[in-house]
Chains A and B, each alone.
Chain A
Amino acid sequence: GEDVEQSLFLSVREGDSSVINCTYTDSSSTYLYWYKQEPGAGLQLLTYIFSNMDMKQDQRLTVLLNKKDKHLSLRIADTQTGDSAIYFCAPLSGSSNTGKLIFGQGTTLQVKP
Chain B
Amino acid sequence: ETGVTQSPTHLIKTRGQQVTLRCSSQSGHNTVSWYQQALGQGPQFIFQYYREEENGRGNFPPRFSGLQFPNYSSELNVNALELDDSALYLCAIGQLYGYTFGSGTRLTVV
Contacts and interface: CB of A to CB of B under 8 A. Distances in A.
Contacts of B50: 97-98
B48 interface: yes
B90 A42 contact: yes
Contacts, number: 61
A98 B50 CA distance: 8
B103 A41 contact: yes
B31 A97 contact: yes
Contacts of A97: 31, 50, 55, 94
Contacts of A101: 33, 35, 43, 45, 92, 99
B48 A98 contact: yes
Contacts of B103: 41-42
6 contacts: A42-B103, A44-B2, A48-B97, A97-B31, A97-B94, A101-B35
B98 A45 contact: yes
A24 interface: no
A27 B94 CA distance: 21
B70 interface: no
A105 B38 CA distance: 10
A101 B90 CA distance: 12
Contacts of A88: 42-43
A92 B86 CA distance: 26
A97 B94 CA distance: 8
A113 to B, nearest CB: 26
B102 interface: yes
